[in-house]
Amino acid sequence: SGGYSYLYEPLWWIGMTAMILGEVANFAAYAFAPAILVTPLGALSIIFSAVLAHFILNERLHMFGVVGCILCVVGSVGIVLHAPKEKRIDSVNEIWHLATQPGFIVYSCLAVVAALVLIFWVVHRTEQRKMLVYIAICSLMGSLTVISVKAVAIALKLSFSGVNQFIYVPTWFFIVVVIICCLVQLNYLNKALDSFNTAVVSPVYYVMFTILTILANMIMYKVVYASG
**Residue 16 burial (CB count, 10 A):** 15
The torsion angle over the Cα atoms of residues 206, 100, 166 and 212, rounded to 10 degrees, is 0
Q: Is this structure's pTM higher than 0.85?
A: no
Res 40: pLDDT: 74
CA angle 10, 21, 2 (to 5 degrees): 45
The secondary structure element, H or E, covering residue 72 is helix 63-81
pLDDT above 60 (res 225): no
Residue pLDDT, tens place only, 83-142: 666 666 778 888 899 899 999 999 999 999 999 999 999 888 876 678 899 999 999 999
Q: Sign of the CA dihedral 139, 46, 188, 17?
A: negative
Please give the Cα distance from 211 to 139 (Å, whole number): 9
Give the mean pLDDT of the chain. 82
pLDDT reading at 4 higher than 70: yes
pLDDT tens for 41-59 read: 766 777 777 777 778 877 7
